């Protein structure tokens, strides 16, 4: 943590004022809502997947360091809450991205691969919630599901935008 803190302080000193103002499309409140929804939604499901992994570790090998972890029921409940939060925030991301795209391109949905994979990931987490609420899934099954579901989120968030040329590729920060 101290090293990261020092590096963040150093990085803050490297700020350079841009020579030009942002284009109007990048000054939209919808864009910032979209980015915050995407980032916090991804963080929530990453935490849920980590809780799923810890659940499986504690269940498979009790004792030792796993005794310091919360109970299996607590980790299951926390994982559910993080998935519910991530699902909601990812929904905010999709809706705000649609409104922003309508401002920029005149259409809410463009079938961009990132849009499609974001919708797929959102639906996969919706299935997680459905399995828990409707079918009463708990514990090991949902812990495994949260790890598998993370693959769709990774494809949507990092896989497509950084490997294919899409509308979202233009917003990478190049150094």
Quote the Cα angle for 21-24-30, to 5°.
120
99: CB partners within 8 A, 6+ apart = 30, 108
29 — pLDDT class (breaks 50, 70, 90): confident
How many C-beta neighbours within 10 Å does residue 145 have?
22
Distance of alpha carbon 72 from alpha carbon 75, whole angstroms:
5
- Alpha carbon of 19 to those of 16, 22, 25, 31: distances in Å? 9, 10, 17, 22
* Nearest one of 139, 169, 1, 147 to 60, comparing CA atoms: 139
**Residue pair 121/58 in contact by the 8 Å Cβ criterion:** no
Q: In the 8-state DSSP scheme, what is residue 14?
A: T
The sign of the dihedral angle between the CA atoms of 32, 36, 42, 45 is negative
What confidence tier does 18 reach under pLDDT thresholds 50, 70, 90? low
* Type and span of the H or E element at 150: helix 140-154
pLDDT band at 73 (very low <50, low <70, confident <90, very high): very high
Domain boundaries, the chain: 27-169
Is residue 116 exposed (0-12), middle (13-18) or buried (19+ Cβ within 10 Å)?
Answer: middle
> Where does the pLDDT of residue 20 fall: very low under 50, low under 70, confident under 90, or very high at 90 and above?
low
28 secondary structure, DSSP code = -
Span of 11-15, 33-37, 107-111 with lowest mean pLDDT: 11-15
């Amino acid at each position: 943590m101290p090293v990261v803190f020092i590096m963040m302080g150093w990085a803050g000193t490297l700020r350079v004022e841009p020579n030009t103002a942002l284009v109007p499309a990048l000054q939209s409140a919808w864009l910032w809502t979209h980015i915050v929804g995407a980032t916090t939604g991804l963080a929530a499901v990453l935490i849920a997947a980590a809780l799923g992994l810890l659940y499986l570790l504690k269940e498979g090998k009790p004792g030792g360091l796993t005794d310091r972890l919360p109970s299996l029921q607590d980790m299951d409940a926390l994982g559910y809450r993080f998935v519910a939060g991530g699902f909601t925030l990812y929904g905010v991301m999709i809706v705000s991205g649609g409104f922003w795209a309508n401002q920029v391109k005149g259409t809410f949905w463009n079938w961009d691969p990132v849009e499609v994979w974001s919708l797929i990931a959102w639906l996969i987490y919706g299935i997680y919630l459905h399995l828990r609420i409707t079918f009463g899934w708990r514990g090991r099954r949902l812990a495994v599901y949260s790890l598998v579901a993370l693959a769709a989120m990774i494809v949507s968030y990092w896989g497509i935008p950084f490997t294919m040329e899409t509308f979202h590729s233009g917003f990478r920060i190049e150094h």
